[in-house]
């Protein structure tokens, strides 16, 4: 069967192509606001796809993109799909050494970067054999758009086989070297369709949804989950190039769907103008990419009357599980990531690979049409990460409850083994976070001569509090087995996080690795 994800998304657009598809909604944006109609999306992606086609690139050529977030950057993504090429988004935070690695590893035929980085990026790219380097800025300037302006606004999407690659996403690399997850047109489309049903997206005929898009677009959450949702359902997007809680709160009354990483919810709650009234037309708040604290889940419900829907997924698989959308399918449970999405298999297994009993903790393995084919040019790594019966080992550790809701307990690499006992950081973090004066925490294992590893906690104090490490340790001792109690607790101003809000435990482990030396 022939496929093109772009064509499938395009089929969901409203009949009235002159309706607004995307409105730029940043604080201080000039009036009249910058609007893009569905026709604009169609024509601009056609021009960009024609430019790419005119370059005469080989089949399966990669287009690597490191630019600030802009509507044009999203259009470039869609144009790459439309042209049947492979999109490779790169985190805007990456510096020269990281970009050199990605370009060297992926060997893109085309690199698109911000004008301000052209000097060093083009040097790296040409050295690695890239044929074309274009610029794209967040103010609708740059050589990419200049060149595309000379091309026709008509373009027939290039048909691909279902399993052909549509994108390579380099894993966020909180541990080890980043690997390129190869996602096909069918992976991405099947997941977009599953979420369309699971989250009750309203089609134009049903009185469309309006999505607030405030996530970066170099990652699975903002690029696929959020953008595909709106594009497949012909829903308007209120587009924020960066997240600003006040600006988002001001536009919320016009919106029905919001997607965020947990830190965005914490920041919204700290914003005085974020009120129940501001959320009056909202129907869905989705959280994912990192664990949502129960406290945030509860505070959010108290403030807005809305219950955040938490879901779980990863670059290699897109979305895997979700809390229910419809009340008739069950409640949304804080601290859980819900149940497997339709068509997705999720199992929790012990070290021997046997299924764990309900409530027991084990490795999370998954299968489904959404699961990637493998890591780019890493057949051995790919083989290691799949079981003999073809399930992908996510590297997450979790447990199912009796109602089939999954709780993610942590990454298997973050598991602490102390004196032969397993300690799951999330359990200790959950307890610490409930203690007086504690805002949040991260628990790590640190090398220890006697125990192999010792449990250590890094804690952020609540504003105005000064929790005593010794007191926190004493309180934990009264509640849990001694081997789980941190040997040391450090109180810090903030935890190191990556762009998606994930705590960088490798950075903490590094900082404390010599703690028990000598
Ligand atoms: P990435 O590939 O960067 O999207 O990272 C995927 C990883 O993020 C997963 O393997 C999980 O460890 C974590 N993750 C994603 N969503 C959640 C969630 N709702 N709760 C806990 N961890 C999550």
Could you report the per-residue pLDDT of 472-485, keeping only the tens digit for each?
999 999 988 888 99
Can you tell me the mean pLDDT for 95-123?
95
Residues 404 and 423 in one domain: no
Q: How confident is the model over 227-254, as pLDDT tens digits? A: 999 999 999 999 999 999 999 999 999 9
The neighbouring-strand residues paired with 210 are 236
Q: How far is the CA of 288 from the centre of ligand 1 (A)?
A: 7
Instruction: Tell whether 282 is covered by a domain.
Output: no
470, pLDDT greater than 90: yes
* Model confidence band, residue 2 (pLDDT cutoffs 50, 70, 90): low
Can you tell me the mean pLDDT for 190-206?
94
Alpha helical stretches, state H, 182-292: 185-198, 227-232, 245-251, 262-269
Residues 483 and 371 in one domain: no
Instruction: Tell whether 517 is covered by a domain.
Output: no
396 in contact with ligand 1, CB cutoff 6 A? yes
Instruction: Tell whether 261 is covered by a domain.
Output: no
Can you tell me the mean pLDDT for 63-68?
98
171 in contact with ligand 1, CB cutoff 6 A? yes
314 in contact with ligand 1, CB cutoff 6 A? yes
Q: Which whole-number Å values give the CA distances from 29 to 36, 60, 73, 239, 410, in the listed order?
A: 14, 38, 18, 11, 40
39, pLDDT greater than 80: yes
> Domain residues for 17?
2-242
310 in contact with ligand 1, CB cutoff 6 A? yes
Residues 360 and 433 in one domain: no
pLDDT for the residue numbered 502: 87
Q: How far is the CA of 413 from the centre of ligand 1 (A)?
A: 13
Phi, psi of 7 (to 5 degrees): -60, -40
* Model confidence band, residue 32 (pLDDT cutoffs 50, 70, 90): low
Q: How confident is the model over 348-407, as pLDDT tens digits? A: 999 999 999 999 999 999 999 999 999 999 999 999 999 999 999 999 999 999 999 999
* Model confidence band, residue 419 (pLDDT cutoffs 50, 70, 90): confident
Helix (H, G, I), strand (E, B) or coil at 167: strand
Q: Which whole-number Å values give the CA distances from 495 to 38, 288, 511, in the listed order?
A: 41, 18, 12
CATH value at residue 437 = 3.30.300.30
Instruction: Tell whether 320 is covered by a domain.
Output: no
Q: How far is the CA of 502 from the centre of ligand 1 (A)?
A: 8
Residues 147 and 197 in one domain: yes
Question: Do strands 236-239 and 20-24 pair parallel, antiparallel, or not at all (unpaired)?
Answer: parallel
CATH value at residue 237 = 3.40.50.12780
Instruction: Tell whether 284 is covered by a domain.
Output: no
Return the best residue to mutate from 91, 312, 497, 506 for the ligand 1 pocket (most ligand atoms within 8 A of CB): 312
Can you tell me the mean pLDDT for 492-498?
93
Return the best residue to mutate from 176, 221, 293, 396 for the ligand 1 pocket (most ligand atoms within 8 A of CB): 396
Q: How confident is the model over 166-183, as pLDDT tens digits? A: 999 998 655 557 899 999
Cα–Cα distance for residue pair 255/119, rounded to 1 Å: 40
Residues 170 and 234 in one domain: yes
Query: Among the atoms of ligand 1, which is closest to the Cα of residue 288?
Result: 19
Which of 406-420, 426-440, 474-488 shows the lowest per-residue confidence on average (mean pLDDT)?
406-420
Length of the chain: 518
| Ordered DSSP codes for 80-108 | HHHTT-EEEE--TT--HHHHHHHHHHH--
289 in contact with ligand 1, CB cutoff 6 A? yes
314, pLDDT greater than 80: yes
Residues 12 and 107 in one domain: yes
Cα–Cα distance for residue pair 280/509, rounded to 1 Å: 44
pLDDT for the residue numbered 206: 85
Tokens standing for 504? 């960088």
Residues 367 and 420 in one domain: no
Return the best residue to mutate from 292, 335, 408 for the ligand 1 pocket (most ligand atoms within 8 A of CB): 408
Can you tell me the mean pLDDT for 17-25?
96
Residues 153 and 71 in one domain: yes
291 in contact with ligand 1, CB cutoff 6 A? yes
Which of 409, 424, 454 is the endpoint of a domain? 409
Instruction: Tell whether 367 is covered by a domain.
Output: yes
Helix (H, G, I), strand (E, B) or coil at 76: helix
pLDDT for the residue numbered 180: 96
The residue with greater pLDDT, 63 or 174, is 63
pLDDT for the residue numbered 94: 86
Residues 339 and 379 in one domain: yes
Residue bearing the CA closest to ligand 1, atom 21 = 291
Residue bearing the CA closest to ligand 1, atom 5 = 314
467, pLDDT greater than 90: yes
Instruction: Tell whether 129 is covered by a domain.
Output: yes
How many domains is the chain partitioned into structurally? 3
Residues 369 and 448 in one domain: no
Question: Do strands 406-411 and 392-400 pair parallel, antiparallel, or not at all (unpaired)?
Answer: antiparallel
Which of 386, 409, 432 is the endpoint of a domain? 409
Return the best residue to mutate from 290, 366, 405 for the ligand 1 pocket (most ligand atoms within 8 A of CB): 290
pLDDT for the residue numbered 452: 85
Mean pLDDT computed over every residue of the chain: 94
pLDDT for the residue numbered 176: 57
Can you tell me the mean pLDDT for 420-424?
84
Q: How far is the CA of 312 from the centre of ligand 1 (A)?
A: 6
Residues 432 and 385 in one domain: no
Query: Among the atoms of ligand 1, which is closest to the Cα of residue 315?
Result: 2
Q: How far is the CA of 343 from the centre of ligand 1 (A)?
A: 20
* Model confidence band, residue 28 (pLDDT cutoffs 50, 70, 90): confident
441, pLDDT greater than 60: yes
Looking at the chain, the whole-number percentage of residues with pLDDT higher than 70 is 98
CATH value at residue 371 = 2.30.38.10
Can you tell me the mean pLDDT for 321-342?
97
* Model confidence band, residue 413 (pLDDT cutoffs 50, 70, 90): confident
Residues 346 and 373 in one domain: yes
Q: E-assigned strands of 35-79?
A: 35-37, 62-66
Which of 218, 242, 266 is the endpoint of a domain? 242
Instruction: Tell whether 256 is covered by a domain.
Output: no
Cα–Cα distance for residue pair 198/292, rounded to 1 Å: 20
Alpha helical stretches, state H, 393-455: 425-433
* Model confidence band, residue 424 (pLDDT cutoffs 50, 70, 90): confident
153, pLDDT greater than 80: yes
Q: How far is the CA of 315 from the centre of ligand 1 (A)?
A: 9
Q: In which residue are the tokens 């903030």 written?
A: 494
220 in contact with ligand 1, CB cutoff 6 A? yes
Residue bearing the CA closest to ligand 1, atom 8 = 289
Is the Cβ–Cβ distance between 437 and 471 less than 8 Å? no
């Amino acid at each position: 069967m022939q496929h093109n994800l772009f064509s499938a998304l395009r089929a969901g657009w409203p009949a009235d192509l002159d309706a607004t598809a995307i409105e730029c909604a940043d604080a201080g944006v000039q009036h009249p606001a910058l609007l893009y109609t569905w026709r604009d999306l169609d024509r601009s992606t056609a021009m960009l796809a024609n430019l790419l086609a005119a370059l005469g690139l080989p089949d399966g050529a990669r287009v690597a993109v490191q630019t600030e977030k802009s509507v044009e950057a999203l259009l470039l993504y869609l144009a790459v799909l439309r042209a049947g090429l492979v999109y490779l988004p790169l985190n805007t935070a990456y510096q020269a050494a990281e970009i050199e690695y990605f370009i060297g590893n992926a060997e893109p035929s085309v690199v698109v970067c911000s004008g301000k980085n052209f000097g060093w990026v083009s040097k790296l790219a040409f050295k690695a054999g890239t044929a074309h380097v274009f610029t794209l800025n967040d103010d609708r300037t740059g050589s990419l758009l200049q060149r595309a302006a000379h091309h026709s606004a008509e373009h027939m999407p290039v048909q691909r086989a279902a399993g052909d690659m549509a994108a390579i996403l380099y894993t966020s690399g909180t541990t080890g070297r980043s690997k390129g997850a190869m996602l096909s047109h069918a992976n991405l489309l099947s997941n977009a369709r599953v979420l369309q049903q699971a989250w009750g997206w309203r089609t134009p005929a049903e009185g469309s949804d309006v999505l607030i898009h405030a996530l970066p677009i170099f990652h699975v959450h903002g690029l696929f989950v959020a953008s595909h949702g709106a594009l497949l359902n012909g829903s308007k997007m209120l587009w924020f190039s960066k997240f600003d809680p006040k600006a988002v709160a001001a536009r919320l009354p016009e919106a029905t769907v919001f997607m965020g990483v947990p830190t965005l919810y914490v920041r919204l709650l700290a914003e005085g103008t974020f009120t129940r009234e501001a959320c009056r037309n909202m129907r869905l708040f989705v959280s994912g990419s990192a664990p949502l604290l129960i406290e945030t889940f509860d505070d959010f419900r108290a403030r807005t009357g809305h219950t955040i829907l938490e879901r779980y997924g990863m670059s290699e698989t897109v979305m895997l599980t979700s809390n229910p959308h419809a009340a008739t399918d069950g409640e949304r449970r804080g601290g859980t990531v819900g149940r497997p999405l339709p068509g997705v298999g999720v199992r929790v297994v012990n070290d021997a690979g046997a299924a764990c009993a309900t409530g027991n903790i084990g490795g999370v393995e998954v299968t489904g049409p959404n699961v990637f084919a493998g890591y780019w040019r890493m057949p051995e790594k790919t083989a290691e990460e799949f079981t003999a019966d073809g399930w992908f080992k996510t590297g997450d550790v979790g447990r199912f409850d009796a109602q089939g809701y999954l709780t993610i307990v942590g990454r298997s690499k973050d598991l602490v083994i102390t004196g032969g006992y397993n300690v799951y950081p999330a359990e200790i973090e959950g307890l610490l976070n409930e203690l007086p004066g504690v805002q949040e925490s991260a628990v790590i294992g640190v090398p220890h001569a006697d125990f192999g590893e010792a449990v250590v906690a890094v804690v952020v104090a609540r504003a105005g509090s000064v929790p005593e490490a010794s007191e926190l340790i004493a309180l934990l001792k009264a509640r849990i087995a001694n081997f789980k109690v941190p040997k040391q607790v450090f109180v810090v101003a903030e935890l190191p996080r990556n762009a998606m809000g994930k705590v960088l435990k490798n950075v903490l482990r590094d900082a404390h690795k010599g703690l028990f030396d000598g």
